Amino acid sequence: MITVFNTLGRWIVASVVSNPMRAIAAMGALAMCVPAAATEGGMGRPITGMQITPYAGIVPPDPGLTLSLSTIYYKASQGRTRETAIGNSIRAGLDIEASYTLANAIYVWDTHDPHWNFASGVGMPLQYTHASAFLNDRRISDHSTNFADILLIPIMASYHFSPTSHMALGLQMYAPTGSYDSNRLANAGQNVWTFIPNLSYTHLWPKQNLEFSATWGLQVYTRNTATDYHSGLLNTVDATLIKRFENGFGFGGVVGWIQQLQNDKGTLADRLDGNKGYALGLGPIATWTHKLDKEHSLNASFRWINEIDTRHRPKGNAYLLNLTASF
C-alpha cells in the first residue's frame, strides 16, 4: 500500500481499500460496454444495465494489477414486423442470443496525490452469437464463436472529494479487431472504432455499509466502411444501490437507460427513418468479497437485468457474472 500524505488520504485507504478492497474498487473504474450487435444491428455496443460496476467512481490509492473475468449472457428479440439494418440488408423479427466473455487487466498507477489516482487497462473478449431474422419472408439463422473487438482504456482518473465521495473520468475505446462479415447475421466484431468518454460517481455510507454509484457514457461510432452505415451517438446512464454485510455478501439493485441521441446515417438507415433506439431496464445485483490478506482479495458479483421497455432495439434479459482478483 502506498504512503498517503495527509489525513484525507488515510481515510480513503481505510474506507475504500481495506473495506471494499482494491480488486473490486479497481474494477469500478471500468464501465462494461458489451458488443452484441452493431447499432445497425439494432443495439450498438451497450446492453441495458451492464455499463456500471460497483465502486464505479473510484480508482483506489493502491498501485498494482487487477485481473477480472466477466461473462454476459443476453437473450432478446424484436417483433415480427420490427425491421433493423444488419450488414447489407434490412431484416425483420431479429432474435439474438449472445454469450460475451471479457478478460480484463487493469493497472493502477503509483501516484503520491491523496486526491487523484489513475488507472489504465485492456480487455480481450470472446463472443458466441446466435441470431435469426426474416429476409424476404424467410427466416435465416446464423451462429459463430469468435474474438470480438478489443477494449482499450488509455486513462481513468479518479478524484476523491472526501473519504465517502468519489468521481472518475475516463475514456474507453473499442478497436475493430473482431471477426466481421457484412453478409453474416452473427458477427462478434462491429467493423467500427468506438470512443466512449465516461463520468462516474460513487458515494459511500460507511455506518450503514451502503454504496450508491452512477455512471454516464457517450458512445461515438465511426462509419462502417463495409456497409456505409454510420451509427448515431448513444447516451447511457446506469445506477446501482448496494447494501453490504459483515459476512462479505451484498445485495441491491441496478437500473440502466440507453438513449440514442442522433439518427443513424446511410442508405439503410434512411429507409428505417434513422433507426433511433431506446431501452430501459432494471434488476437485482448480488456481490461477494473474500479477503485473502491485507492487500489481496477475491470478489464476485452477479446481476440480472430485465429490459422493461425498448424502441428500435431487441427486448429481453441480460445476466452478468464477474470474478476479480488483485495482485
> Which string of DSSP letters, residue by residue, matches 189-224?
--SS-EEEEEEEEEEEETTTTEEEEEEEEEEEE--B
Burial (0-12, 13-18, 19+ Cβ within 10 Å), 142:
middle
Place of cell 446511410: 266
Tell me which range, 172-176, 182-186, 291-295, is most confidently predicted by mean pLDDT.
172-176
Whether the per-residue pLDDT at 209 is higher than 90: the answer is yes
Q: Where are the domains of the chain?
A: 7-326
Angle at CA 39, nearest 5°, toward 36 and 43?
50
* Per-residue pLDDT, 17: 42
Q: Which helix (H) or strand (E) holds 7?
A: helix 7-12
Question: Domain 7-326: what homologous superfamily?
Answer: Autotransporter beta-domain (2.40.128.130)
Condensed to tens digits (0 to 9), the pLDDT of residues 14-39 reads 444 444 445 555 555 455 544 433 35
* Per-residue pLDDT, 295: 72
Whether the per-residue pLDDT at 127 is higher than 90: the answer is yes
Condensed to tens digits (0 to 9), the pLDDT of residues 63-115 reads 989 899 999 999 999 877 788 878 777 888 888 999 999 999 999 999 988 89
Q: Specify whether the CB–CB gap between 252 and 241 falls below 8 A.
A: yes
* Per-residue pLDDT, 4: 31
Q: Which helix (H) or strand (E) holds 175?
A: strand 165-175
* Per-residue pLDDT, 1: 32
Rounded CA-CA distance 256/50 in Å is 7
* Per-residue pLDDT, 37: 37
Stretch 140-151: mean pLDDT, rounded? 92
Condensed to tens digits (0 to 9), the pLDDT of residues 211-241 reads 999 999 999 999 999 999 999 999 999 999 9
pTM assigned to the model: 0.87
* Per-residue pLDDT, 42: 54
> Which string of DSSP letters, residue by residue, matches 8-77?
HHHHHIIIIIITT-HHHHHHTT------SB-GGGTSBS--TT-S--TTTT---S--EEEEEEEEEEEEEE
Q: What burial letters (b/e) apply to 3-34, b meaning 16+ CB within 10 Å?
A: ebeeeebebbbebbbeebbbbbbbbbbbbbbb
Q: Which amino acid is at 131?
A: A
To the nearest whole percent, how much of the chain has pLDDT over 70? 86
Q: Specify whether the CB–CB gap between 204 and 241 falls below 8 A.
A: no
Angle at CA 186, nearest 5°, toward 228 and 27?
95
Whether the per-residue pLDDT at 195 is higher than 50: the answer is yes
Rounded CA-CA distance 38/186 in Å is 11
* Per-residue pLDDT, 24: 55
Stretch 266-280: mean pLDDT, rounded? 87
Question: 233 or 267: which carries more pLDDT confidence?
Answer: 233
The HSE-up count of residue 208 (CA atoms within 13 Å, CB side) is 10
Average pLDDT across the chain, whole number = 86
Residue 157 CB: number of other CB atoms within 10 A?
17
